Amino acid sequence: MRRATSLHRPRRGEQGSQKPYSQRWATILFMAAIHALALVALMPRFWSITAVATLLVLYWVTACLGVTIGYHRMLSHRAFRVPTWLERFFATCGALSCQHGPIDWVGLHRHHHKFSDTDADHHDSNKGFWWSHMGWMFHEIPAMGAVPRLTGDLARDPYYRWLNSWFLSLQLVLGLLLFWIGTVSGAGGWALVLWGIPLRLVVVYHVTWLVNSATHCWGATPHDSGDRSRNNAWVAALTFGEGWHNNHHAYPHSARHGWGPGQIDLTWQHIRLLRALGLARQVRLPQAASPQG
């Protein structure tokens, strides 16, 4: 099947550089600290049913409502529209994932689609699994200077500008709330904080990054998307449907990513519900994806 959209794709070496700038030590230290605290959370003294439930609920709120619905399909690709209050709710859930604010996240994602798997792509999968998974974040990459030019629609919104600057502060508010809930419920304040913030962040980070790495390495390629994107069932299971990545790169503005036999797309089911409730409109689908599915 032919690709639905055409993007300018520079030849290898036309844009970007094989040689990144200096290391981003703030990012390296932050990631090291978060992963260390996630290991602390797994100590037996912090385990409880309440802690596990907290992780699962916040995983859904941040990974599904926030990253896949809010940051990705709604803001990055404008695959559907919702009322302003609901759009900002989803964007706030996305900011709780601590993957930068909406302007930066959307800019990076649009940049990836514009130059997918070329030198200019900041997480070019041709540079290896580690680079596309997380290594790219630890370096200053020349091509990323073009990212701010891709988010003018979001930068005009004062709330998104605020969220983009203060997304880290949301973790403090969430931490205080979790500590209070854990103390009152008897589950342990620090247990809920550790499971609800560092452990949850690490899980959501790596699951999100698998879409950049694993789905550009392993899986089926039913569409000619012009890059290395693949449909990967196990990544789709972890990411609420984002693993149908070859479908997505072939039809990037579709609100639905999984439409083939057995391609379960839980994010699309959320959007279908929003549409049935009259909250989602202008839902974009390619001809390949049946609106009834």
Q: Note the pLDDT tens digit of each residue in 87-113.
A: 999 999 999 999 999 999 999 999 999
| CA dihedral of residues 169, 175, 180, 185 (deg, nearest 10) | 150
Please tell me the predicted confidence (pLDDT) of residue 63: 98
- pLDDT of 54: 98
Conformational region of residue 132, where left means phi above 0, alpha means psi within -120 to 50, and beta covers everything else: alpha
Coil, strand, or helix at residue 141? coil
> With 0-12 CB in 10 A as exposed, 13-18 as middle and 19+ as buried, what is 261?
exposed
pLDDT interval class at 2 (50, 70, 90): very low
Q: Is the pTM of this model over 0.95?
A: no
pLDDT over 70 (residue 181): yes
Which residue, among 139, 138, 152, has the nearest Cα to 110 in the 3D structure?
152
Helices (H) and strands (E) counted in the chain, each on its own, are 13, 0
Is residue 194 within 8 Å of residue 41, measured between CB atoms? yes
Percent of the chain clearing pLDDT 90 (strictly above): 87
Task: Calculate mean pLDDT across residues 57-62.
Answer: 98
pLDDT of residue 182: 98
For the record, the structure tokens of 33 come out as 């600290």
DSSP 70: I
Query: CA-to-CA distance for 89 and 70, rounded, in angstroms?
Result: 8
